[in-house]
Amino acid sequence: MQSSPTSESLARRRLLIVDGHAFAYRAFFAIRSLSAPDGAATNAIYGFIRMLGRMQARVKPSHLVVVWDGGLAPERTALHPEYKAQRPEMPRSLEEQLDQIVAYLCAANIFSIMRDACEADDCIAALTRQAVADGLEVVIASSDKDFMQLVSPEVRLLNPSEKTDALWGGEEVRAKTGVEPAQIVDWLSLAGDAVDNIPGAPGVGSKTAADLLRQFGSIDSLFRRIEEVRSERLRASLQASAEAVRRNQKLVRLNSDVQCEVSLEELACKPGDTAALRHLYARWGFKSLLRELEQAQLPAGDFFPETAGAC
């Protein structure tokens, strides 16, 4: 990212990064039945727009980007062919709505990005690193626990599963997991992650993994001092699983070096295209959003709707 920030822009610059596929899935299953006048399904589209509007109102970002999954990282599937292999195919009805969600983002002037063979998690990690280097605060909107490894004084999480809308920092990560954000990779490597089809060491769940990391600090230290593990059964399990645990570290650790570089100017919140949004809302039959769009239009013709996509 490259920018020439003014003193005014430095006052409060915050990037909201949205995990696109995760929220599209969430919207799709939250609203079971909704269709356009032509009969096409619109439940995911409508839900996505509404959720995005609520997130913007909560976070008040100066910059915004939606990141889409471009496929599994080849280096991870080479390490573990079963990586994420258990996930079912995307429902056809949801797949058919993704292009329409992107059309909405274009009309709302919200930047979205996808890189082939690049997992959204890695792209989000890269964008986070770049934004922090440029002096921005970052809020990552996702329920994926992998992102807890990115939490820092500059980076927080907005978890849609949390009804409080709290922005998670280190304190919340510690309360949830029992470990520091910097230990999340080792915590998941020991306990495993069923969501990503990554098996942990047998007999090691999230609590035991946290206990081990509080005692030893890291996986490296744990295996150097393996004889200090009091339980013979646990010690034997860890020793037998050492290679798999080391592999898990490579699977779990997000790759912030992937090529997802974008200029800050592209991510800056901008007014949406009123005419384009009006056309889309009318085609989809979104009467409430049409009404809000008209109510939010200023006399000069500028467009600053809270729920229709502009920041």
Strand order through the sheet with 111-113: 111-113, 63-67, 14-19, 137-141, 155-158, 167-168
User: Where are the alpha helices (H) located in 82-217, listed in sequence order?
Assistant: 92-107, 120-133, 170-177, 184-191, 206-216
Q: What is the pLDDT of residue 297?
A: 76
Mean pLDDT of all residues in 192-198: 96
Residue 303 has pLDDT above 50, yes or no: no
Confidence at residue 213, expressed as pLDDT on a 0 to 100 scale: 98
Q: Domain map of the chain by residue range?
A: 9-176+256-296, 181-252
Query: What's the farthest any 2 CA atoms get from each other in the chain?
Result: 75
Helices assigned H by DSSP within 108-183: 120-133, 170-177
**How far, in Å, CA of 258 to CA of 119, rounded?**
9
Q: Tokens at residue 103, please?
A: 């059309």
Are the beta carbons of 176 and 52 closer than 8 angstroms? no
Average pLDDT of the chain, as a whole number: 91
Do the domains 181-252 and 9-176+256-296 match in fold? no
Sequence letter at residue 94? L
Q: What is the pLDDT of residues 78-131, one digit of tens each?
A: 999 999 998 999 999 999 999 999 999 999 999 999 999 999 999 999 999 999
The per-residue pLDDT for range 258-300, each reduced to its tens digit, is 988 899 999 999 999 999 999 999 999 999 999 999 998 755 3
9-176+256-296 in CATH: which number?
3.40.50.1010
What are the helix (H) ranges across 60-119? 74-79, 92-107
> What is the topology classification, in CATH, of domain 181-252?
DNA polymerase; domain 1 (1.10.150)
Put simply, whether the predicted model's pTM sits higher than 0.85 gets the answer yes
Mean pLDDT, to the nearest integer, of 244-266? 95
State yes or no: pLDDT of 27 exceeds 50: yes
Burial state string for 140-174 with b = 16 or more CB within 10 A and e = fewer than 16: bbbbbbbbbbbbeebbbbbbbeeeeeebbbbebbb
36-81 pLDDT tens trace: 999 999 999 999 999 999 999 999 999 999 999 999 999 999 999 9
Tokens of 308: 């229709």
Phi then psi for residue 39, to 5 deg, are: 95, -10
What sign for the dihedral angle of Cα 246, 247, 248, 254?
A: positive
